[in-house]
Amino acid sequence: MSVIVAIAGATGAVGTELIKLLELRNFPVKDLRLLASKRSVGKKLIFAQKEIEIQELTEDAFEGIDIAFFSAGASRSLEFCQAAADAGTVVIDNSSAFRMDDGVPLVVPEVNPDAAFDHKGIIANPNCTTIQMLVALKPIHDYSKIKRVIVSTYQSVSGSGASAIVELENQTKAWVAGQTIEKNVYPVQIAFNVIPHVDVFMDNGYTKEEMKMVNETRKIMSAPDITVSATCVRVPVFRAHSEAINIETEQEVSVDKAYELWEKAPGVTIKDNREPAGYPVPHEVSETFDTYIGRVRKDISCKNGLAFWVVADQLFKGAALNAIQIGELLLTRENGIRGSR
């Protein structure tokens, strides 16, 4: 079954990765339409060795489209996703616009694949930090329910978009040359620094990014009683997010048992040798598909505790890849695309 696909926000950091991954994964694209703001109209991008001209993202742009991947930001998703769904298109939205809506499934294919088929035209792609954490948590949770999660993230600048990648590069060059470092994307210098502040602060002292990990975890895992505390930090890494995770389970999960569960789990690679370079790091994980786990050990601070390190490419598994995997999932059933409407 080949389908007509649109990418809304095709010129952005995630949009360009979507184009790349559609080709890398041999997604059955019959025709591809690239949509963006008016200022990008007429520009051309390459897909399958062909130039495709960018068209303007409008409410009327989705006629005949089977699947639309949205990566244009929450405000544009709120403006255009429903129009696309009304035109008979299945929307897979990468923004935060619909994630917590009761009528919109929030899907990580390795975690809750069946939820993808309970849609009314819009499916939400979770936050990048939530995705990679839950790929690691789900096999453990299925074996022994997780009661509590403490997570600290080390998030690459790719999570802030293409302009942040440029900012880190420019600041690094300026520092080496002894020039003045300019700040535009972040409130303080990101080169050779860490910033314990991702997204806006909430009334409870957590940031919006941190609360996404709390609320999205509960929705995706269908586990409203899981307690989650997150600290999200931006680090001077170009792409791939890392997370230090501590969990407490109802029954003990040994390190060997955790290995066994992860080895059987889809989308997981274990790299855990207790020696220098025996663990996953962002540089080597960039532009790979899996979620990598290392530094696995018993958490000696609590009963039934387990601590581990998780790394995944934010632009791939944390965004574009997860969205495409949702699309691939829909294509496995006849009712995945059009039969639901």
Catalytic one of 119, 128, 141, 232: 128
DSSP 3-state percent helix, strand, coil across the chain (nearest 5): 35, 25, 40
Catalytic one of 119, 141, 232, 241: 241
CB 93 within 8 A of CB 122: yes
- Long-range residue pairs from 164-169, CB within 8 A, at least 24 positions apart, any chain: 164/190, 165/13, 165/238, 165/239, 168/236, 168/238, 169/238
CA distance linking residue 316 with residue 308, whole number of Å: 21
Give me the numbers of helices (H) and strands (E) for the chain, helices first please.
8, 14
**Active-site annotation holds for 197:** no
**Active-site annotation holds for 119:** no
CB atoms within 10 A of CB 99: 21
CB 84 within 8 A of CB 4: no
CA distance linking residue 75 with residue 59, whole number of Å: 14
Residues belonging to the active site: 128, 241
